[in-house]
Structure 1
Amino acid sequence: MSNSTEEQLDLQISIAVTSHQKVVNVASVPKRSPFRYPGGKTWLIPYLRQWLNSLQTKPTLFLEPFAGGGIVSLTVAFENLAEFITMVELDQLVSSVWRTILGDEAEWLAIQIEAFELTAANVDFVLANSNPTARELAFQTILKNRVNRGGILAPGAGRLKEGESGKGLRSRWYPETLAQRIRDIGRVRTRIAFIEGDGLSVMRTNAHRQDMVVFIDPPYTASSKRAGSRLYNHSELDHNELFRITDTLKGDFLMTYDNAREVRHLATSYGFDTKPVAMKNTHHAKMSELLIGRNLDWLQNP
């Protein structure tokens, strides 16, 4: 069977499996993150709640080794679904935002966002600073995330032109809302630790903890589609090693991946449970992603 034929069969299976599922209404999910993040997991939140509420005890530690836009970790913190949360992110730009928001410069960042007059010239001026301080880098990153197409921070990302309703650059710039999200995070920041570094290393170090659960949302580069390769500054990952480390975890885990043949085969080789779930992409097309865990019997249509 050719690769193209197998891919068509995969698509048919995915459509058949998810056709009866409701697509999560992301508008009903509280927006916690200041990022408009490519590959964000707002659609996952109802499933996240199901998973964590199905556990016999509340986890002491919730670890997210590929934090990105942070919606999952923030939801766990705001809804008190674990005692403590550790977010890990390798990307320096994304990390600068989390360090600032979870540190002592959060109010400065909120004020900068509120006061900024968003014009193409002002955006160019801010982004032209090649030697920013840590908090200035955080502001640059938020700005770039909001004016780039799809929120993409990787090199080569284009800027919004028409945007929503012809608003151009302003179509994704909500200064009061963004500032309020930053201030809201301040209410739970004492329960959140942030590490700028390698998520796999942090998983290895903590694999022995039975009181820890891990949510794993890696760059989607395991399949031939390599969907995450153009979205992130750090997209290369040893997916086999990720699955090997995951298999050593003493606590529970939930993993999301693109619903691809290569990923399903990898999960099966470790005896993990897999189930596709329906979601919509940024173009509002219905598609499926893959949930992976030791046992997904808790999974219900939200």
Structure 2
Amino acid sequence: MFDIGEQNPTQSIINVASVPQRSPFRYPGGKTWLIPTVRQWLKQESKIAKELIEPFAGGAIVSLTAAFEKMAEHITMVEMDEEIAAVWQVILNGKNKWLADKIYSYDLTHANVKSELENPNKKLQDIAFCTILKNRVFHGGILAKGSGMIKNGENGKGITSRWYPKTLRDRILAINYVKDKITFISGDAFEVLEENVNSESSYFFIDPPYTIAGKRLYTYFEIDHERLFELTSQLKGKFMLTYDDTPEIRQLANKYNLQFRTIPMKTTLHFEKNEIIISDNFSWW
């Protein structure tokens, strides 16, 4: 057993290329790199988890991986951001094929993107398409205000640098095979956690906007971090809460008697750093 906050000495930085890419988003703060650890956590009991709840779904790589790899019988995804929510509503509950086909056939030019984004009369499916569009042609996939279109991009490809229409279409259509396992809620993470606080059979993967980078990356970056720690400490089910490794976060973990470990990761700019994993137990670690 490791002391609180200690890193597993066998833990190494995960190459994200080794993890199946399930999400149509290139999500800032995404958890593709954490998937091998999430698999260990979800498989800590011999039986499949009855319910996985992801209250800050974002790009939803954890929910999608659990669905595709049959690590949970049912998955509940929650997202407050209206643009991101529109994508999941269309993919899971609506015009999945429409979105896939629109992406695949779209003529990606600056003029077309500008026209698409400035259209004032958007239906839900149009909002979903524009969200994917922005996620792929804006710097770092950042949707928050102040972000803008890529200029040079990779090898001078500009806005086409991250636009992979066939890959995106295939990922969206593939979700059809698992969407019956998934319930999507366009709503507030705190409300869903409060409603399920006594659910002993649930696993909660909680990946909130981080304290440092959240303002730059997300529209809804302001959350009550202490309230989240308090709520997490009351959960009857199994949970994994992820955060940036800061003195403030360690203090909150200690205040609410929550065990944590550190885990190494590499940022999109290839800086190595540690993040914190907080869990109800580390028998699976």
Q: Does the alignment reach a TM-score above 0.5?
A: yes
**Aligned residue type for 1:143:** L
Q: Percent same amino acid among aligned pairs? A: 51
The alignment partner of 2:283 has SS state of coil
The 1:216/1:175 distance shift into structure 2, 3 A limit, reads same
Q: Distance in 2 between matches of 1:272 and 1:38?
A: 26
| Structure 1 unaligned regions, length at least 5 | 1-13
Contact 1:18–1:278 (CA under 8 A) maintained in structure 2? no
Give deviations 1:133-158, integer Å, cap 9, x for gaps.
00011000000110000100011002
Contact 2:100–2:169 (CA under 8 A) maintained in structure 1? yes
Q: How far apart are 1:234 and its partner, in Å?
A: 0.2
Greater shift in the superposed pair: 131-140 or 289-298: 289-298
Match of 1:296 in 2: 282
- Aligned partner of 1:112 among 84, 102, 107: 102
TM-score, normalised by the number of residues in structure 1: 0.90
- Aligned partner of 2:161 among 139, 161, 171: 171
- Aligned partner of 2:267 among 276, 281, 301: 281
Contact 2:48–2:70 (CA under 8 A) maintained in structure 1? no
Q: How does 1:1-302 map to 2 (within 5 A)?
A: 21-221=11-211, 226-299=212-285
Q: How far apart are 1:20 and its partner, in Å?
A: 6.9
Q: Distance in 2 between matches of 1:87 and 1:95?
A: 10
Q: Distance in 1 between matches of 2:249 and 2:117?
A: 38
Contact 1:18–1:288 (CA under 8 A) maintained in structure 2? no
Give deviations 1:50-69, integer Å, cap 9, x for gaps.
11111243221100000001
**Aligned residue type for 2:246:** A
Q: Distance in 1 between matches of 2:167 and 2:242?
A: 28
Q: Distance in 1 between matches of 2:213 and 2:134?
A: 21
The alignment partner of 2:240 has SS state of strand
| Structure 2 unaligned regions, length at least 5 | none
Q: Distance in 1 between matches of 2:151 and 2:243?
A: 31
**Aligned residue type for 2:120:** S
- Deviating 4+ runs (over 4 angstroms): 16-20
**Aligned residue type for 1:142:** I
Q: How far apart are 1:19 and its partner, in Å?
A: 8.6
TM-score, normalised by the number of residues in structure 2: 0.95
Give deviations 1:43-92, integer Å, cap 9, x for gaps.
01000001111124322110000000110100010001010000000000
Contact 1:64–1:214 (CA under 8 A) maintained in structure 2? yes
The 1:159/1:214 distance shift into structure 2, 3 A limit, reads same
The number of residues matched between the two structures is 281
The alignment partner of 1:271 has SS state of coil
Contact 1:272–1:295 (CA under 8 A) maintained in structure 2? no
